[in-house]
């Protein structure tokens, strides 16, 4: 359901955005109709709103996918889990202790495994770590470098100065409200200085910089 809604919102963003830009460009170059410019501006506002909705829907879809993944994992047979991690020799032990579903073993401790008759320390550690890793795949993922996948990251803040130029947005609004002379609104505040700061992640392994 959420995936269908997200797809429709995405189509809405594309249609409204393109239509809004086309109407405004046509109005500026050929038609010079106040109504057309207003409709174009409204469509662009709708595009902005839909983009915010799209981000929210995407987060909800990701959350639902993780929850469904965890639910499915917990219903997996313990024997399949053990075979997947080359621990099939312990299937009979788990079955005899009525631990036949993954959800029944998620809270096991080293002492529990020892009491079940699993005497090899290395195997007990492997079982516990495998349980933890399987669950972690469906939970919130740690931040990783999109280039190499490393989790060894640092943050850095870059500061830059800007001098304000002509404001297309202000000019466009002025044009819609006042006609051709409204483009002069874009000159408001022109020449003022501004300092911006932006924080990035930098991967220690490959040097990739990303937000």
Give the pLDDT of residue 135. 76
Domain boundary residue among 52, 69, 86?
69
Domain boundary residue among 21, 40, 69?
69
Give the pLDDT of residue 113. 92
Mark out the alpha helices in 27-120 (DSSP H runs): 34-74, 78-84, 91-96, 110-115
Same domain, 54 and 81: no
Same domain, 170 and 131: no
Give the pLDDT of residue 200. 76
Same domain, 121 and 150: no
Domain residues for 23? 1-69
Same domain, 1 and 42: yes
Tokens standing for residue 205: 């392994």
Backbone angles phi, psi at 191, to 5 degrees: 95, -10
Can you give the CATH number for the domain in which 127 is found?
Answer: 1.10.150.50
Higher pLDDT among residues 153 and 92, named by residue: 92
Predicted structure pTM score: 0.40
Same domain, 148 and 208: yes
Spatial CB neighbours of 172, under 8 Å, sequence gap ≥ 6: 24, 41, 186
Domain boundary residue among 20, 52, 69?
69
Same domain, 14 and 28: yes
**Among 66, 208, 105, 92, which residue's Cα sits nearest to residue 150?**
208
Higher pLDDT among residues 122 and 150, named by residue: 122
Output the CA–CA distances (angstroms, integers) from residue 115 to 1, 6, 106, 118, 168, in the order listed: 46, 50, 16, 7, 73
Spatial CB neighbours of 192, under 8 Å, sequence gap ≥ 6: 163, 164
Higher pLDDT among residues 134 and 124, named by residue: 124
Same domain, 60 and 99: no
Mean pLDDT taken over the chain: 75
Band of pLDDT at residue 5, cut at 50, 70 and 90: low
| Bridge partners, 203 (sequence order) | 153
- pLDDT by residue (tens digit) across 18-48? 776 777 777 666 666 656 667 777 777 777 7
Same domain, 115 and 64: no
Same domain, 204 and 147: yes
Same domain, 169 and 211: yes
Q: How many domains is the chain built from?
A: 3
Same domain, 115 and 168: no
- pLDDT by residue (tens digit) across 79-127? 888 888 888 899 999 989 998 888 888 888 999 999 999 999 999 999 9
* DSSP calls for 1-27: -HHHHHHHHHHHHHHHHHHHHHHHHHI
Tokens standing for residue 168: 């297309």
Same domain, 106 and 121: yes
Q: Tell me how many degrees the CA angle 171-175-176 measures, rounded to the nearest 5.
A: 120
């Amino acid at each position: 359901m959420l995936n269908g809604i997200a797809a429709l919102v995405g189509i809405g963003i594309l249609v409204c955005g393109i239509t809004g830009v086309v109407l405004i460009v046509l109005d500026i170059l050929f038609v010079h109709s106040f109504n057309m410019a207003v409709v174009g501006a409204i469509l662009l506002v709708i595009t902005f709103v839909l983009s915010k909705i799209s981000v929210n829907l995407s987060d909800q879809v990701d959350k639902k996918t993780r929850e469904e993944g965890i639910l499915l994992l917990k219903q997996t047979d313990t024997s399949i889990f053990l075979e997947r991690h080359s621990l099939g020799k312990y299937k009979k032990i788990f079955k005899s202790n009525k631990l036949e579903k993954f959800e029944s073993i998620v809270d096991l401790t080293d002492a529990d495994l020892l009491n079940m008759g699993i005497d090899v320390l290395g195997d007990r550690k492997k079982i516990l770590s495998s349980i933890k890793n399987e669950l972690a795949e469906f939970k919130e993922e740690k931040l990783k470098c999109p280039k190499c996948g490393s989790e060894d990251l640092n943050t850095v803040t870059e500061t830059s100065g800007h001098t304000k130029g002509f404001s297309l947005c202000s000019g466009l609004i002025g044009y819609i409200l006042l006609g051709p002379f409204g483009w002069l609104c874009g000159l408001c505040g022109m020449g003022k200085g501004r300092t911006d700061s932006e924080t990035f992640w930098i991967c220690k392994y490959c040097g990739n910089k990303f937000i």
